[in-house]
Amino acid sequence: RIAARIDRPVVLVGLMGVGKSTVGRRLAEMLGSDFVDADDAIEDAAQRSIAEIFEEFGEAYFRDGERRVIARLIEEGGGVIATGGGAFVDPETRSLILERAIAVWIDTDIDILVERTSRRNTRPLLRNGNPKEILTRLYNEREPFYSQAQIRVESKNAPHAETAKAILEAID
């Protein structure tokens, strides 16, 4: 049957490695809407990779850019937006998303995240220490924020298309 129609952007939140970008792309296909990855939009705006932004200017600078870019993407009304894992922790970004969009927290087990993030070492926050310890700490710190999302789906090891379908059903 015809996919759900959305009148607000759907914003995917959750820890790095959970599959926000791939799930988001699938979900946008199912909805027949646009997809945009906020991290890519930040890299485009800065003309630098996320790792370079962290290295050259630091995390606080990255968070400022992230806040502005996400506000712009929501303003533009883009269908499905994948955000970087820390975006929803920022109070301003979080309220904007909760007011103007539908926040979807993709949750999964830490071990799955450790496995997935180990495939590519592009994430500045995982470079200085044991990835499992860092991800566990971030999970505990961020869970109180992620759990404020209107929708939570648990992806476990499901194929990303299945997680996208679960979201589709939840927002219907």
Between 2 and 47, CB nearer to ligand S3P = 47
**Is 63 annotated for ligand binding?**
yes
**104 lines the binding site for ligand S3P (CB under 6 A):** no
- What stretch of H or E contains 81? strand 80-82
Question: In the bound complex, what is the minimum distance in angstroms from residue 50's beta carbon to ligand S3P?
Answer: 5
**Which of residues 100, 116, 123, 152 is near ligand S3P by CB under 6 A?**
123
Output the smallest distance, CB 31 to ligand S3P, in A: 20
For 41-79, letters b (16+ CB in 10 Å) and e give bbbeebebebeebbeeeeeeebbebbbebbeebbeeebb
Candidates 24-32, 81-89, 107-115, 128-136: pick the segment binding ligand S3P (CB under 6 A): 81-89
Q: Is 37 helix (H, G, I), strand (E, B) or coil?
A: strand
Q: Is position 39 annotated in a ligand binding site?
A: yes
Asked whether the CA dihedral 63, 64, 65, 70 is positive or negative, the reply is positive
Among 73, 84, 114, 160, binds ligand S3P (CB under 6 A): 84
DSSP symbols for 95-112: HHHHHHSEEEEEE--HHH
Nearest residue by C-beta to ligand S3P?
A: 84
Q: Which of 35, 33, 4 is nearest to 22 (CA)?
A: 35
Pick out the residues of the known binding site for substrate: 39, 63, 85, 142
Pick out the residues of the known binding site for Mg(2+): 21
Q: Provide the binding-site residues for ligand S3P, judged by CB under 6 A.
A: 16, 20, 39, 50, 84-86, 123-125
